[in-house]
Chains A and B, each alone.
Chain A
Amino acid sequence: MSLRVLMFGWEFPPQNSGGLGTACQGLTRALAGAGAELIFVLPRRFDVKASWQRVIFADDVSSFNLLTVKAALSPYLTVDGYARRRAGADPLYGPDLISEVYRYAAAAADLTRGERFDVIHAHDWLSFPAGLRAKEVSGKPLIVHVHATEFDRTGGNGVNPEVYAIEKEGMTRADRVVTVSHFTKNLVTRHYGVPDYKVTVVHNGIDFEVKPRLDERLSALKRRGERLILFVGRITLQKGPDYFLQAARRVIDLEPGVTFVMVGSGDMTGQIVEQAAALGLGQRFIFAGFLRGDELDAIYQAADLLVMPSVSEPFGLTPLESLANGTPVLVSRQSGVSEVLRHALKVDFWDIDEMVNQIIAVLRHPPLKRTLAVYGQTDARRVTWSAAAEKCLNIYRSLVGAV
């Protein structure tokens, strides 16, 4: 008999602001492919294309009226950031992110009563209370899946005590904790007091396909023989944009004809723009804004190297996207993806000297760039969602057997 999984998420493509929705999509598709039966719960109704599973929207449950929130509920916002965004938006709805999370949990209790399932699987703190309520009502085992913690989002400074408490309660009361990397596992055992044996690492995957060559973007720059170093990600503390900037300053001093490009936006954008101007980087440091799809792929393809200088990165998908586009990567050791990529350059995010050393080596030595790109792609191919699904299924089986 196939395993029936009740899964709680927060976002799902195309309505996603980042990696959580993408990860839920990849994982559920692979789980369904491996024979699991899935019910995926989302807090509010929107158009989801996921034929491999039944999708329930908590705001459809008639007995409970969950307010539909128009503003972007981003799992990547800190609670303060959410409050700021709410202040400028529609004041009629949810006063804060945490109330939304609890309303979701209350609805979950209701909809759980009518469903048949063997295990509960909840993704990130936003859905942990919902998962816990479902566990209370049904008595079924709960897996909480940690894609990011409050420590990643805040860089350890200004951890919101309420969010931390929700994360900790979820991890403590769950039957099993899944983290997306050893990096995150260390964080969870160190900061949340979760015992080592309770935590299983399930690295994220990627539906890897080598991207076709697109028309060259930034062609004016490339025609001039300019080399491009790329940053892709939210411009927030967690992603280390300031380290990228510092490295850029030094590389530009040492190496002619190099332009640094930042793709993305975030609460540090203004600060980085100002700093770049103050450092006199001018046209050598470009902000491309938020890009997706072909536009993003074209930028990856135009680049000589992707740098991911994250301060605290539970996994990190952009290096795999870069490799799919044939561009080699330099990643911080403080990332989950560095655990699955061997053919990548690696640095500690704070080690600007070494970052500069490696960036310049790639620029000066084509054999290095080519070797990293070719072997890096073979690495990325091995990072599959089916491997992740297999590990989750093993966890389900062990829990169902034990109950």
Chain B
Amino acid sequence: MPSVCFYFQVHQPRRVKKYRIFDIGREPDYFNDNSESNLNNERIIRKVAGKSYLPANAVLLELLKCHPEFRVSFSFSGVLLEQLADWAPEVLDSFRKLVATGRVAVLAETYHHSLAFFYSLAEFEHQVVAHGELIRRIFGVRPKVFRNTELAYNDNLGRWAERAGYLGVLAEGWDKVLGWKSPNFLYRPAGTKRIKLLLKNYRLSDDIAFRFSERSWSEWPLDAPKFAGWVNAVNGQGQVINLFLDYETFGEHQWADTGIFHFLRQLPPEVLKYPDNDFVTVEEASARYPAMDVLTVPEVLTWADTERDLSAWTGNELQTSSLAALYDLEPAVLAFGDDNLIGAWRRLQTSDHFYYMCTKWFADGDVHAYFNPYASPYEAYISYTNALNDLRLRVEELKFNHVES
């Protein structure tokens, strides 16, 4: 004790290209930027594959070979897997090799990395099923633990996940929700009987994800023995330490020259030096450890910003009006079974589109600006809204033609 539970989020959106007013009614592809900009999805997939996914996968494969106790879990968005299949199939192969060891779990999520749970339950369930099929097709496994986009969680989601048959569901281990409770135990979502809630230890997770290369941080430089010491210090006050990270932390957010890959390589043996410690997948954790208490989360909790709510995606009127317009189209888009239209509509649901419209921290230019491929939230909104209007026009045309015939 304790068990370390690594879960890595692997996702890249299909960013909307610069889509101008003149493109409406003329240009049916919203995602095929082929410039040198950061809106070129293929270019980004290739870049992230080379800088992050491939070298990180190589390290993990080596670790799994050397340490039979080592475990990790992944959550892949369907949007990412599609793009890997198109532009970096070698990355897909390397992920397959990891899963084939039998010590790597794959999580369930929404195919399109969407916030559909909060807008349309039917659409949400459709995406979860589609994602499950994709995971089975690519990796030959069936996910048993669910995580929602951006770790967005509330009691309703916990109850839904139990009804859907999952062993566990993930959420942020945020102090305001936990009170005196520790994130290093499992809990029971309010209103459920069997399912377990796994909570992110955000302090230790963020030490790696955000602070690793921060020279002004008092703990810099961070090395594996020091981090393993922090993990071990939990002994007796917790059962599972959930380290939930974006996979791009390795090599993309923290570049190779920060020593992040070395850290990743060194950490498991350092953790295992303490005889009571081990590693678990999210599935093993859910099966092995009891729920210590019921946890009630009435309001939506996410892993973003200091508010840990949905405000990074729904905090301003650009975002709320776009989301409303998007889900208003649902019945009309689905009515005719046109795969192109439905596909475009679903791709427009990816949460990143709304994150790019966030004005919350825009003035201070920080993490939001870093992750924004558009010059401003306004340019993100304009391209998105133009594309959505094109989609609406196509739907209306279809409806009109249908009536005509």
Contact = CB atoms under 8 A, between A and B. Distances in A.
Interface of A: 254, 342-343, 345-346, 353-354, 356-358, 360-361, 365, 367-368, 370-372, 375, 378-379
A361 B363 contact: no
B376 A356 contact: no
A379 B22 contact: no
A343 B363 CA distance: 8
B316 interface: yes
A354 B19 CA distance: 10
Interface in B279-327: 316-318, 320-321
A389 to B, nearest CB: 22
B382 interface: yes
21 contacts: A342-B363, A342-B365, A343-B362, A343-B363, A343-B378, A345-B376, A345-B378, A354-B20, A356-B21, A357-B20, A357-B21, A357-B386, A358-B382, A361-B21, A367-B317, A368-B318, A368-B378, A371-B317, A371-B359, A375-B359, A375-B362
Interface of chain B, main secondary structure? helix
Nearest to A358: B382
Given A360-B21, A375-B363, A379-B363, 13 more contacts: A343-B359, A343-B362, A345-B379, A357-B386, A365-B381, A367-B320, A368-B318, A368-B378, A371-B316, A371-B317, A371-B359, A375-B359, A378-B363
B375 interface: yes
Nearest to A255: B21
B254 interface: no
B382 A368 contact: yes
A367 B376 CA distance: 15
A342 B362 contact: yes
A332 B202 CA distance: 42
Contacts of B363: 342-343, 375, 378-379
Contacts of B316: 371
A224 B22 CA distance: 26
Contact of B376 (A254, A346, A361, A365): A346
B385 interface: yes
Contacts of A343: 359, 362-363, 376, 378
Interface in B364-389: 365, 375-376, 378-379, 381-382, 385-386
A85 to B, nearest CB: 41
Contacts of A357: 20-22, 382, 386
Given A361-B385, A368-B381, A342 B21 contact: no
A363 to B, nearest CB: 10
A361 B317 contact: no
A368 B316 CA distance: 10
Contacts of B365: 342
B364 to A, nearest CB: 9
A346 B375 CA distance: 9
Interface residues of B, number: 20
Contact of A353 (B20, B381, B385): B20
B87 to A, nearest CB: 28
Contacts of A345: 376, 378-379
A353 to B, nearest CB: 7
Nearest to B382: A361
Contacts of A360: 21
A127 to B, nearest CB: 36
A378 B359 CA distance: 12
Pairs of residues from A and B, 8 with the lowest C-beta to C-beta distance, nearest first: A367-B317, A357-B20, A367-B321, A361-B382, A360-B21, A357-B21, A371-B318, A367-B318
A365 B21 contact: no
Nearest to A354: B20
A254 B386 CA distance: 14
A127 B74 CA distance: 67
A375 B359 CA distance: 8
Nearest to B19: A357
Contacts of A370: 317
Nearest to A372: B378
Contacts of B376: 342-343, 345-346
A354, A360, A361 — most chain B CB neighbours (10 Å):
A361
A345 B21 CA distance: 15
Interface in B9-54: 20-22
Contacts of B379: 345
Nearest to A361: B382
Contacts of B378: 343, 345, 358, 368, 371-372
Contacts of A365: 321, 381, 385
A346 B379 CA distance: 9
Contacts of B320: 367
Contacts of B375: 346
Nearest to A363: B21
A357 B381 CA distance: 12
A365 B365 CA distance: 25
Nearest to A328: B378
Nearest to A251: B21
A342 B374 CA distance: 13
Given A342-B376, A356-B21, A361 B386 contact: yes
Nearest to A353: B20
A358 to B, nearest CB: 6
A357 B359 CA distance: 21
Contacts of A254: 21
Name the residue in B362, B378, B386 with the highest tally of chain A Cβ atoms < 10 Å from its Cβ. B378
Nearest to A382: B363
Nearest to A370: B317
Contacts of B317: 367, 370-371
Nearest to B389: A364
Contacts of A346: 375-376
Nearest to A333: B375
Nearest to B23: A357
B49 to A, nearest CB: 32
A375 B316 CA distance: 11
Contacts of A342: 362-363, 365, 376
Interface string B187-218: 00000000000000000000000000000000
